[in-house]
Amino acid sequence: MAEHSVTVENTLQTLLTDKKYSTIRDILVTMNPADIAAVFAGVESDKLPLLFRLLPKELAAESFVEMESEEQESLIKGISDKELRQVMDELYVDDAVDIVEEMPANVVQRILAQADPEMRKEINEILQYPEDSAGSVMTTEYVKLTPDMTVGDAILRIRRTGVDKETIYTCYVLQNRLLVGTVSVKSLLLAPSDLQTIDSIMESNLITVTTHTDQEEVARMMSKYNLLAIPVVDGDNRMVGIVTFDDAMDVVEEETTEDMEIMAGMTPSDKTYLRSSPFDLFLHRIPWLSLLMISATFTGMIISNFEKALAAMTCLAAFIPMLMDTGGNSGSQSSVTVIRALSLGELEFSDLGKVIWKEIRTALICGACLSVLCFAKVMLVDRLIMGNDEVSIMVAVVVGLTLAVTVLCAKLVGCTLPMLAKKLGFDPAVMASPFITTIVDALSLLVYFGIATALLKL
């Protein structure tokens, strides 16, 4: 797809130079809005308004929604108020809200000035909801029906008003603004009679969310119940909007990206990688790097406290990296598994006992297996192949036993910290690989030197 965009972009550049605008239009109208936005991303900002004006009004608005905020801002500055008004007239409310949230204040003022009063009112209402809530990602454009309406009247209303709605597949049955049911277009079309009333075919077993429900929970519910849209109600069960499937997909992508960045030890960024400058990346990475570097001081302090033990048997130092790495990897496996289960709603804090018991059993099996392999490796490689006479059977026992205990400790830390973080209201992803690895490194050293001191009489 990237290669295709580059090819189209080069073709458009050539056609622009030759001023063959009709040919450019013929190419663009055959493309998907998302593909047009991808091509526009590589076009010089001063050429964007010209290309944008070649698009039919509806296609122009759809392509505008798909563009990155930087291109949107550049384009808004390059088009007239009349052109901006035409774009705003074609936008759905939730798309307009997304654009407003990304723009600087002076651009927002211009956007709102060109929006019609009704849209401006709806945008301002949605912006008042908490960030990352269902209210902040919903749209207020949906098909409304009443229980006493006939099937024929409902189909007629869809024909008259559906063109301005984001989705018409599911219609919402309201009585005095209260949501009492839903009915699909399929049910309407397959109804035995056009005179049948809506209340006789509507689905009254409703799945709803409130305006303050977390957007990630909304996306999870839509996935669980296979919904194309989910109604959003207020505290009195009055319907205020819907969250559509495409918005839920955007939420999933944003939340997954954020979790991956946090788990990798970075603060989340709103910019894509190619749009982030080296200084942007520095700002997002340096806080965690600094924290982890300082926290690693504890491992240095532990090693310093056991300098005499290391001096008495220097071969012990050779096994420290293996023990720390294995412990870190074991902890990361557990933490990632638990974090993912928490994000999918599979685990609650009340399941902590079950999780710990399962991880203990897993750790015992993994630890026993790794311990045997480690003992064989130490005796075969370190003693026989490398010829290190200082490596005795007792040293191999110490290393193998340490490995087993380290795996157990690492898995317990890896499974409990994310659940504790969730309970305290923090993002469980914070307790991922970098953070847990630092804790496990310190634990593995304490276990190693404790066992070595006891068994080797150091």
Whole-number pLDDT of residue 3: 54
- Please determine, for residue 429, whether its predicted confidence score (pLDDT) is greater than 70: yes
**178-184 β-sheet, strand order:** 144-145, 170-175, 178-184
Assessment of whether the complete model's pTM goes beyond 0.75:
no
Residue located via tokens 């603004």: 177
Question: Do 452 and 324 fall into the same domain?
Answer: yes
Domain contains 266: no
Residue 320 identity: I
Instruction: Please check the confidence at residue 435 and state whether its pLDDT lies above 70.
Output: yes
Last-in-domain residue among 244, 268, 286: 244
Q: What is the Cα–Cα distance from 170 to 185, expressed in whole angstroms?
A: 6
Q: What is the mean pLDDT of residues 342-369?
A: 91
Helix/strand number for the chain, H first, E second: 22, 6
What does the block give as tokens for 94? 């939730």
Residues 116, 184, single domain; the answer is no
User: In this structure, is the dihedral angle defined by the CA atoms of residues 431, 433, 434 and 436, taken in order, positive or negative?
Assistant: positive
Segment 305-351, tens digit of pLDDT: 877 777 777 788 888 889 988 988 898 889 888 988 887 778 888 99
> Do residues 109 and 151 both lie within one domain?
no
Q: Does residue 66 sit within a domain?
A: yes
Rounded mean pLDDT of 98-121? 86
Residues in a beta bridge with 238:
178
64 and 152 inside one domain: no
Confidence (pLDDT) at 362:
94
Q: Quick check: is 85 in a domain?
A: yes
Mean pLDDT, range 215-229, rounded to an integer:
89
Largest Cα separation within the chain, whole Å, is 95
Residue 201 confidence (pLDDT) above 80: yes
Q: Distance between the two ends of the chain, CA-based, in angstroms?
A: 63
Q: Point out the domain boundary residue: 205, 228, 244.
A: 244
* CA R_g for the chain: 30
Question: Does some domain include residue 198?
Answer: yes
Residue 241: pLDDT band (50, 70, 90) is very high
Q: What is the pLDDT of residue 458?
A: 67
Q: Is the pLDDT of residue 368 over 90?
A: yes
Task: Please state the domain count of the chain.
Answer: 3
Q: Indicate whether 288 pLDDT > 90.
A: no
Residue 130 DSSP one-character state? P
Residue 6 binned pLDDT confidence (cut-offs 50, 70, 90): low
The answer to whether residue 90 scores a pLDDT higher than 60 is yes
At residue 5, the pLDDT reads 56
Angle (nearest 5°) at CA 419 between 438 and 210 = 135
Closest CA to 238 of 183, 184, 181, 174: 174
Is residue 220, in this structure, part of any structural domain at all?
yes
Residue 375, domain extent = 296-456
Name, in order, each residue with C-beta under 8 angstroms of 329's C-beta and a sequence gap of 6 or more: none
pLDDT band at 4 (very low <50, low <70, confident <90, very high): low
Spatial separation of the C-alpha atoms in residues 454 and 458, rounded to whole Å: 7
Q: What is the CATH number of the domain that holds 202?
A: 3.10.580.10
Report the pLDDT value the prediction gives residue 159, as an integer from 0 to 100.
Answer: 92
pLDDT of residue 264: 65
The overall average pLDDT reported for the chain is 85
Which residue from 181, 186, 185 is spatially nearest to 200, judged by alpha carbons?
A: 181
Query: Could you tell me the CATH number of the domain that includes residue 74?
Result: 1.25.60.10
Kindly state whether residues 373 and 437 are assigned to the same domain: yes
Identify residue 330 by its one-letter amino acid code: S
Q: Same domain, yes or no, for 55 and 184?
A: no
Highest mean pLDDT among 175-189, 240-254, 420-434 belongs to: 175-189
**What is the average per-residue pLDDT within 215-235?**
90
More confidently predicted of 440 and 294: 440
pLDDT score recorded for residue 412? 93
pLDDT of residue 76: 87
Last residue of a domain, one of 244, 262, 283: 244
Q: Is pLDDT at 295 greater than 70 in this prediction?
A: no
Instruction: Specify whether 99 is located in the same domain as 151.
Output: no
**CATH number for 411:** 1.10.357.20
Query: Tens digit of pLDDT for each residue in 15-67?
Result: 877 888 888 888 888 899 888 888 888 788 888 888 888 888 888 888 888 88
Q: What is the pLDDT of residue 341?
A: 86
Is 289 part of any domain? no
99 plus 170 within the same structural domain:
no
- Which range is least confidently modeled, 195-199, 217-221, 302-306? 302-306
Phi-psi region of 179 (alpha: psi -120 to 50; beta: other; left: phi over 0): beta
Q: Please say if the pLDDT value at position 160 is more than 70.
A: yes
Is 418 found in the same domain as 300?
Answer: yes
- Asked if 239 and 377 sit in the same domain, the reply is no
pLDDT at 35: 87
Both 82 and 12 in a single domain? yes
Q: Which amino acid is at 220?
A: R
pLDDT, average across residues 368-397 = 88
Residues 6+ apart with CB under 8 A from 248: 218, 219, 222, 223, 230
Element holding 170 (H helix, E strand): strand 170-175
Residue 251 is predicted with a pLDDT of 85
Query: Residue 387: inside a domain, yes or no?
Result: yes
Token pair 């955007």 in the structure block, residue: 250
Do 20 and 100 sit in the same domain of this protein? Answer: yes
Considering only 138-147, 225-234, 265-274, 322-331, which range has the smallest mean pLDDT?
265-274
Question: Rounded CA gap, 52 and 291, in Å?
Answer: 47
In a domain, 255, yes or no: no
Task: Using CB atoms within 10 Å of the CB of residue 150, give its burial: 0 to 12 exposed, 13 to 18 middle, 19+ buried.
Answer: middle
Q: Which of the 8 DSSP states describes residue 455?
A: H
Q: Cα 169 vs. chain centroid, distance in angstroms?
A: 27
Among the ranges given (97-101, 135-139, 270-274, 436-440), the one the predictor scored with the smallest mean pLDDT: 270-274
Q: Is the pLDDT of residue 117 over 60?
A: yes
